[in-house]
Chains A and B, each alone.
Chain A
């Protein structure tokens, strides 16, 4: 016991050493510099920034020198090394210096625009606004360098640059307030930014320097690196990030000063505009580093200050591949997992999450007698309510409703989804059937996807959101500010949907979706069509694009897109679906919001998301398999009760996250428990805002079986049923509102069910059951557990207070109080 503890503690202390980042320095040009940082490591994990306390040395000051801040400066061509010493530890890295005799011109694209971006000149609030500002308009964050160059060098009588006297250029005088500037002081005359801009003007303010050979352009930015890629720090620690850009000619530049920084979790770790990180809390944060159109991340972990016995992690159950990955993360952050939940908790949770209904008391009794959780999971995914629940979910995702579709078309679309879920159609095939559909909208229900999204931008954006969980809307008008997507990529993707024809069908209200063999959509700024390209995939080769050349050799662009999307190598497709299903069960997506996958919004556990996606692909996109895998994990089966040490965690799955039940599930549960079904007899119709009677939904139709969200229900509206108007997980509202509370208290939905002469309460009156039995029964029905002795006593006492009270009313009040309790309204 003692020796085990010693082993563990020495491991935790680890082997301290130092690292310098970047691990090698390359300096190109006479003025090149690179700042380095010195990091303390333990067992190769970075645990602190020692730059400020380290001493630096250069092995050969004739090649490179280094100052006390860690800035390495080029002196002469050659190779040398620099070293850092701190706390009796030593480390050194190689430095290569080249081209110190050939000055490089300042590049408009690579140097000027990033400075304008960093300083904020081309931000949406200033000259980057659609209408510009103060008579000058730049492209938002510099996505259109050619136009920006024209604006700066030609417009306003070319007064913005003065090549003879650079300091008299408007573009320097205004931001330095030498002349009045609506935007205020933006640039210091002594700053390196001013220097670079002035140099660029003095060199001639060229778009491409004449020093370049004919036809040669400036080196292109290829990638950026952020150092350190990850670090485990403690509260109040600080860390300087270093950003290095690599260009197509093989040279690198230190762009730390001009990158932009933001933290995904300011409360865990904040970052200033120079890349200095300060840890303020516990958990994980990702620092997004943006430079030009490139994104890099620095992951900061700040373990909780918990003293957790390592045995807690070692002994936490591992049911399948999910669990080691969850536990690994919890252990790194020192968050102890809660123990596993009770069987009675599990069965209620599993039913609600997988099939959207409560288990009956008989089902609970049978299960708790023979609690085989795996077997229960296998049985649940084969039930008809599983089809109801998941059809409803995908109908939300695909916006199936008579709001925009005529009733027959809406039904046809719904039928397609329902049949696919019933057949457990693999998700890749389901997706392909929708995206490549040909034929008429009443027979091939999925064709209505294209009726809902006739506008090409809407279709492009909805497709990205639905199947990749990714919003690319920003890139419609300008390069995405938080993502790598460019406007060119957007319109390349849009062009994949340019060859779709909608024709009238044979009957009224019927349409036919076909592929056309020609047609292109033009990039609105360039005025030409971009090669049809699925985002960062390969373009459809031009012989197959079908530009008016007829059908010969033309590849259907939708097929081409579907091939790319559903390919096992596609990095977005499987993750998007896996995350949606994961969130359904775990209460929070690995990526949250569930449809906000982007580089700057990284998953809380990337390894786990990768593993889930890989497993999903390996199992041929089998959604039921995915559901079973998640439900069988120990992570899903944990108790919802927080422990002192995991109370603050809401994203690493140390316990089951409780959440309010969806509107439809609550309404169906009220029907089941009272034995009084909900009547759906009115449907909101047309543009007049009126309701029409409908007989399409026989009494007993469950809310989760409705194909449409236009059926009138005050209850469903109050509890946040999505409208299915916009593809967004945010449409479904999970918040509680006063309207809900008033409706439960005084509204008709629940009160009428309780008062109904055929309700379950009537049975109880006939049976003449006593208070204890009534309390026991409603608890079992609604909460899937018997009441505690304390609860029984509480209810019994109040129920007996008033000897005059009508028995029926007392029973109604008993049921009401349990059916409006938070324990009933929440899954836990």
Chain B
């Protein structure tokens, strides 16, 4: 297989290229934030990944994907069109950011101060049916599901290839998977054809509620430690047909699941990771005391403790909830509601996340992307809202090897379609894979063992971001 990017050395944020690094040989690790995690790094199912303490932290990049369920209006957020007619440009004015020449809507005052930390890709588009579900599939897996094939989420592929670090799951989804959004199609949050064992660990709880905890992670109050211990030891006593079970992969998987569950339950680090009470009230306030805000905080805690990939769904559904899905009439949201509730919620949490990751030295090896499933129609509809528009929209990418402060692509004057450098969901996935250090040409065992590369042939990462 030939690679078009083979000439370009991969660049690390510390300025070393991969080639420099290979020539340098084994460099002792200094000041690794996550150093203690790497020693526990898991093996990939195919054994291909060899975790090494001699690699710089940046070669083992993490990712947080903030999924902006509902589909933010690009014109009202990160691709303002001040020169467009009134029925297109909408109620918000552009504002300057800390990056000269980059303007976003005025309703994101906090984000405007951090524009050097993220880049805007203003020319993402898709051509599938304009329902939420197709966009969810494409943005989380890089592909539209056709022919009964469910593709794996980028985070699940990462987990499949690299395995988990120590007792931590490789991919955690918080707070809940995307539910019904009208299309009745899969949303792409699973490991698809890679098999359920590679699915994300799903939180299934709201981190903003006062007594938040991971369901089933901790024993219920009536199972005291002495009982939990008794149960485990009793369970080991059923020992007929040992050979039959030890010779069986399903059975070994059951044992492994119980072991990982025990490790999670008994690991102070795992329990800590999910324990938001250990964060100071000031930090919790900084992210906002909303479900999304606390989910972002939880994502940071998880990454800090060795999780490789965290997916945060900003909403579970688009019905009867104030979301980015601003059709203007019930059961959906209108533009004013969005700017009053959804936007400040995001502005606060996203900015806090970038700041916090940076302060903790995690941002240099943690990509953060915030993306929705499509944009909104440029022309405001009679209900005072905007409808689904996969023709063009804007996503945010930054962290790890991704450069900040850039604008990739542009939409046309009305925000109707890409004007330059159109970007597909496959290219977004390729960018994430490349940022995570995976070879985009790598093949996974697809359905019926048909080999499927991480992204379709010829699809490339957005190299301007590296």
Contact = CB atoms under 8 A, between A and B. Distances in A.
B216 A687 contact: no
A746 interface: yes
B254 interface: yes
A687 B230 contact: no
Contact of A734 (B223, B250, B255, B457): B250
A825 interface: yes
Interface string B195-224: 111010110000000000001111110110
Contact of B234 (A733, A788, A798): A798
Given A740-B257, A742-B261, A791-B237, A658 B248 contact: yes
A117 B182 CA distance: 43
Interface in B246-290: 247-248, 250-251, 253-258, 260-262, 264-265
A392 to B, nearest CB: 20
Contacts, number: 192
A821 B238 contact: yes
A798 B243 contact: no
Interface string B317-360: 10110000000000100000000000000000000000000000
A728 B216 CA distance: 31
Contact of B251 (A689, A746, A785, A826): A826
A794 interface: yes
A720 B233 contact: no
Interface string A364-408: 000000000000000000000000000000000000000110000
Q: How large is the interface on B (under 10, 10 to 19, 20 to 34, 35 or more residues)?
A: 35 or more
B231 A743 contact: no
Contacts of A727: 148
Contact of A746 (B240, B247, B265, B320): B265
A37 B257 CA distance: 52
B196 A733 contact: yes
A734 B197 CA distance: 10
Contacts of B219: 745-746
Contact of B222 (A403, A686, A736, A755): A755
A770 interface: no
A798 B254 contact: no
B253 A736 contact: yes
Contacts of A660: 250-251, 254
A761 B313 CA distance: 43
Contact of B239 (A403, A755, A791, A805): A791
A755 B220 CA distance: 12
Contacts of B237: 791, 794-795, 798, 817
Nearest to B228: A745
A745 B261 contact: yes
A120 to B, nearest CB: 11
Contacts of A647: 247
B457 A129 contact: yes
B180 interface: yes
A642 B251 CA distance: 14
Given A751-B220, A794-B237, A738 B169 contact: yes
B235 A820 contact: yes
A212 to B, nearest CB: 38
A579 to B, nearest CB: 15
Interface stretch (A228-236, A306-314, A553-561, A808-816): A808-816
A802 B226 contact: yes
Contact of A688 (B180, B195, B251): B180
A795 B253 CA distance: 25
Contact of A736 (B233, B244, B257, B448): B257
Contacts of A810: 230
Contacts of A403: 184
B289 to A, nearest CB: 24
A821 B237 CA distance: 9
Interface string A271-283: 0000000000000
Q: Which of B233, B265, B320 has the most CB of A within 10 A?
A: B233
A204 B210 CA distance: 81
B314 to A, nearest CB: 15
Contacts of B226: 802, 805
Given A473-B147, A738-B169, A687 B254 contact: no
B195 A735 contact: yes
14 contacts: A129-B457, A658-B244, A659-B250, A688-B319, A689-B179, A725-B186, A738-B169, A740-B257, A741-B258, A742-B261, A783-B238, A794-B236, A813-B227, A826-B254
Top 5 nearest A-B pairs by Cβ distance? A689-B179, A817-B234, A689-B180, A741-B261, A794-B237
Given A798-B233, A798-B234, 15 more contacts: A125-B457, A660-B250, A735-B253, A736-B256, A737-B199, A738-B169, A741-B261, A742-B217, A742-B265, A747-B215, A785-B240, A791-B237, A802-B226, A813-B230, A820-B258
Interface of B: 2, 147-148, 169, 179-182, 184, 186, 195-197, 199, 201-202, 215-220, 222-223, 226-228, 230-241, 243-245, 247-248, 250-251, 253-258, 260-262, 264-265, 316-317, 319-320, 331, 447-448, 457-458
Interface of A: 124-125, 129, 133, 183-184, 403-404, 471, 473-474, 482, 593, 596, 601, 640-642, 647, 657-660, 686-689, 720, 725-728, 730, 733-743, 745-748, 751, 755, 783, 785, 788, 790-791, 794-795, 798-799, 801-802, 805, 809-810, 813-814, 816-818, 820-826, 828
